[in-house]
Amino acid sequence: MAGEGKGTQIEVALGRLAGNRYDFTCMAEYLDVANWARRDLFEFFRNYDRPHFNICTRLDVTNLLNLLRDHPDISVSLAYLYSALRVANEIEPFRYRLKEGKVIVHEVINGGTTVLLPNESFSYAYFDYQKDFETFVLAAGKSIKTVQAEGSLKPTMRDDLVYFTVLPWVSFTSFAHARTPGRGESVPRIAFGKFTRENERTLLPISVEVHHALMDGLHVGRYLTRLEEALAEPKGFLYPGK
């Protein structure tokens, strides 16, 4: 389970973009796989040709939308991206990554999202996790606006991320991501869809895709349960003490 069998602390070069250079370094740990309760499952799944599994469900965001009516300057999508990223940091297996046959435990994971461009193409924006919601919104919003203005595609090889995408045109019930070997194979991918109304509640489709060598349905279930709890009480989650 989360927290079991941590090993040697290491420095992992993650490549944060600074101008045209990547120069970010972060502390992480190796997981002690030999003493990990999931060791057999890790060995079983890690060499699968298709080791990922995907769970789709819907989140009730009614209370979140009601709260944000009093904060018209806050983007709804940034609010649920913040919530999803914060909860991913709370659930330890979402911070696990495969590296040269070993498992890294990142201290903190950050975010990347698709960004629609004016020419109807898209690019990627990257943003750091900030526990303070308003700080996160300002920084992530600035990153997204910069990508929209520049319009160039600058994918990263960093793995201290969760990959997000938003499809506001489709209330999907299943989802599959494009993949290529060697790029973000153990990075969780989370997609959000189109709001729907049902019985006076607003529902948001979500897809969570993860590597089965690193976690199971139990862990994705914990992630979704915690996210549901946060969205049910958004004021305390986004604005604690206010």
If you average pLDDT over residues 38-56, what whole number do you get?
96
Least confident segment among 8-22, 42-56, 100-114, 213-227: 8-22
pTM: 0.89
pLDDT in tens, 55-82: 999 999 999 999 999 999 999 999 999 9
Whether residue 88 has pLDDT greater than 50: yes
Give every CB contact of residue 236 below 8 A, 6+ residues apart in sequence.
none
Separation in Å, CA 212 to CA 8, 52, 67, 129 = 23, 5, 36, 24
Rg (CA), the chain: 18
Q: In what order do the strands lie in the sheet with 6-13?
A: 6-13, 25-31, 102-106, 96-99
